Chain A
C-alpha cells in the first residue's frame, strides 16, 4: 500500500501524523482512528489491520485531559465540585457525589436524611439521562439514526426535570458538603411519576426498533465478548462488568446515601457480548425508574426539613435560613470557600452510569486539598480497547466502542 506515489509526493514522504503510512509488518496496515474522526469522539484508537481483521489496537487517550487532579490542589475544597462535574456533565451528580462524601467523611458529618434522598433522586435522574445519551451515541455508531434521535429526545425529559430541581440542565453542583443546594419544587414528584410512566412506554418502543432489530442483533451478538475472568482482571466496571456476569454494583456492595433502604435489584447478564450490554443498560434504566418511584413516594410522605447539616445553619447568618424557608434554596456563604478540612485520608466511591468512580482524598488540614486522585469509570473501561478489540473486524470497532459506552472527557479527567 505504501507504494502509491504521485510525482514526488508519496505516502512515505508525508510526515503529518495520522496521515502517514509506514510498513509495520507484512500485510499490516496502520490506521489512526481519531481524534477528529466522526466515529471516535475525542480520542484516538490506533489499529493495525490485516485485511479486515484488527491485529492490534491501542487507545491513545488524553485529548480532553483537563488536569483535574492538579487543578483541584490549587483551589478551595468546594470549588473542586464544579470542576469535577466537567468530567461527565450529563452525569454530574453521580460523578461529584463520592467527592462530596469523601470530604464529609473527613469532616465527620453526614447529610440529613432528606438531603440523602434528594441526592439519590438526582443521581438516578442523571443516570437515566446518561444511559440515554449512551444509547444515542451507540445508535449512530451502528448507523441507526432513529436510535440516535429518540434517546436524545427522551433524555430531554430527564434533563428538564434536573433543571427544575437544581436550576441547571447539566452542571448542577447539587450536592455540597453537608447536604444539597435546593429542596424539591412544588409538584415535582407528579411530573417525575409522569416521566417514569413515559420512559417505561418508550423503552418498549426502543425494544421494537433497536434491541430486537435483526440488523442490530446481527451486529452485536458475539461481538466484543468480555469473559468473566478477563473482566475482573482488567477491572472493567459498571454495566459492562455486570453484563459479563459479575454481580457488583457499588450501590449494593458499598451502599451509600439511602441505597440500602431502597428496594432494587442488580441485573446481571452472563454472555458478556455487546448485545448483553445493551440489554444490561435497558434493565438498569428500569431499576433506576423503580428507585425513582420509591424516592418520589418518600418525598411525598415526609415533610420538608432543612436540607443542610446543622453545622451549616449554626455558622450561617439568620438571613440565609429565612431565604431557605421562603424559597427552598440554600444560600452558600463565604464560610464554604474558606473551610478547612481536618487532616486525614478518605476513599470514597460511587456508581455512575458508566461504572464505578473512586476518589482518594488527602487533606493536610488546610483549606485546599493536598492530593485528590480520581479514577473514573471510562478510564477503567479503556483497557477494553487493548485487550478485547484485537481479533475483531474493523466494522466491529464502533459496535464495541458504543457498547462499552466510553466517554472520553470522563476518561481523560
Chain B
C-alpha cells in the first residue's frame, strides 16, 4: 500500500473527522431516511392506509424518501424579494451544522485512541452545542419577513424557554449520579445493566419530553403547526433549503437520541470495546445507533396518536409538570450517588 493511500485512509478515519462526517452526518442521514419511512409507514398502518409504496413495491416503498430527496434537490429555490437574503440562506445551513456538531463531543467507544475529541467535560460541551441551533430557526423566521414565519419563530423562542432548562437538568442528573461530566465515564458507570434510565426513570422521562419539545415532535409540534402558521419559520423556503430545514430537525432529534442512548441507556454497553478499528470503534457506535434508532421510532410513533397542544398549554406543562419532574430526577440521581450505586 502506497503511503499516500494509507495517509488518506488515516485522515478519513481520523476520529474527529470520521465522527462528524460519517457518524454525525451520513449515518444519521441514513437513519433519518429510515425513520421518515418508518414514520410514514407506521402512521399509515395505524390509519389503515398503505403508505409509501409505488416507488419500490418490493421493499415496501423504501426508496420513496430517496425520490423525495431528489425532488427537493431539483426543485427551484425561490428567494422572495422581501427576504433578507444572507441570513435567509445562512440560517438553515448553520442550523444544520450546529445540529450535527454535538456529535464531535460524543465518544462512541471507551477505546481512547478513537475518541473524537477527548475531554473531561464532553457532556457539557455536547449540551451546549445542541442548544445553539434553535437561535437560527428564529433568525430564519425573522429573515423571511413573513408574518407566519415570524409567528413561527416566536413560538420556537417561547418553547426554548420551556425546554432548555428541562433538557439541561435531566441530562446533568447523570453527572450528579456518576460524579463525572465525561460521557465515557458515565457510560462505563452504567456497565452491568445499571442503566441510568432504569434506575432513574424520572430523569429519562423528563429528557424524552424535553427532546419532543425541542424538536417539535408530536404532541408539541407547535412552531411548524401547519394549520395556524403554514410551516412556521420555514414558510418562505422552497427546494433544497426547505429540505435542509426539515432534515436538520430530524438530525437534531437523532443527535438528541444518541445523547439519551449514551447517558441513560448504557451507551455501547453491553458490548465492551476492544482494540482496533472494528471492535474498538465500529461495533460500539453501531450499538449506540441501534439504541438511538429505537428511540427515534418511539418518537415518530407518537405522531399517529396525539394531536398538538396549544402553545400556552405546552409552556404550562413544561414548567408546571416536566421541570419539577426533571428536578426530582436530579434529586433521585443524588440519592443514587449517596447510596453508592455508581
Contact = CB atoms under 8 A, between A and B. Distances in A.
Q: Give yes or no for direct A-B contact (beta carbon below 8 Å).
A: yes
Interface of A: 1, 4, 6, 9, 11, 14, 19, 21, 29, 31, 33, 37-39, 52, 139-150, 153, 209, 213, 215-216, 218-219, 393-398
Given A52-B312, A219-B309, A140 B227 contact: yes
A147 B151 CA distance: 26
A218 B320 CA distance: 15
Contacts of A153: 47-49
Report, as a range, how many residues of chain B touch the other chain.
Answer: 35 or more
A332 to B, nearest CB: 39
B150 A52 contact: no
Contacts of A139: 307
Interface in B217-233: 218-219, 221-222, 225-228, 230
B311 A393 contact: yes
Residue in A33, A143, A213 with the greatest tally of chain B CB atoms within 10 Å: A143
A393 B312 CA distance: 9
A21 B147 contact: yes
A321 to B, nearest CB: 45
B145 A6 contact: yes
Interface stretch (B81-89, B168-176, B196-204, B260-268): B81-89
Contacts of A31: 147-148, 151
Residue in B147, B151, B227, B310 with the greatest tally of chain A CB atoms within 10 Å: B227
Interface in B83-129: 83-85
Contact of A143 (B43, B48, B147, B227): B227
Interface of B: 43, 46-49, 81-85, 142, 145-148, 150-151, 218-219, 221-222, 225-228, 230, 303-313
B82 A52 contact: no
A149 B82 CA distance: 37
Given A31-B147, A143-B225, A396 B310 contact: yes
A149 B48 contact: yes
Q: Is the interface of B mostly helix, strand, loop or mixed?
A: loop
A14 B147 CA distance: 13
A143 B219 CA distance: 8
Contact of B307 (A1, A37, A143, A393): A143
Given A1-B150, A213-B307, A218-B313, A141 B82 contact: no
A29 B47 CA distance: 38
A225 B49 CA distance: 35
Nearest to B218: A143
Contacts of A141: 227
Given A216-B307, A395-B311, A146 B43 contact: yes
B230 A37 contact: yes
Contacts of B148: 31
Contacts of B150: 1
Nearest to B48: A153
B233 to A, nearest CB: 15
Given A143-B221, A398-B228, 20 more contacts: A6-B84, A6-B85, A33-B228, A37-B230, A140-B227, A143-B218, A143-B225, A143-B306, A145-B303, A146-B43, A149-B48, A150-B48, A213-B306, A213-B307, A215-B307, A218-B313, A219-B309, A219-B313, A395-B228, A395-B310
A11 B145 contact: yes
Contacts of A9: 81-82
Contact of A144 (B84, B145, B307, B313): B307
A346 to B, nearest CB: 41
Contacts of A395: 222, 225, 228, 310-311
A145 B227 CA distance: 12
Contacts of B151: 31, 394
A14 B49 CA distance: 44
A271 B154 CA distance: 33
A393 B81 contact: no
A143 B47 contact: no
A51 to B, nearest CB: 9
A273 to B, nearest CB: 14
Residue in B46, B47, B310, B311 with the greatest tally of chain A CB atoms within 10 Å: B310
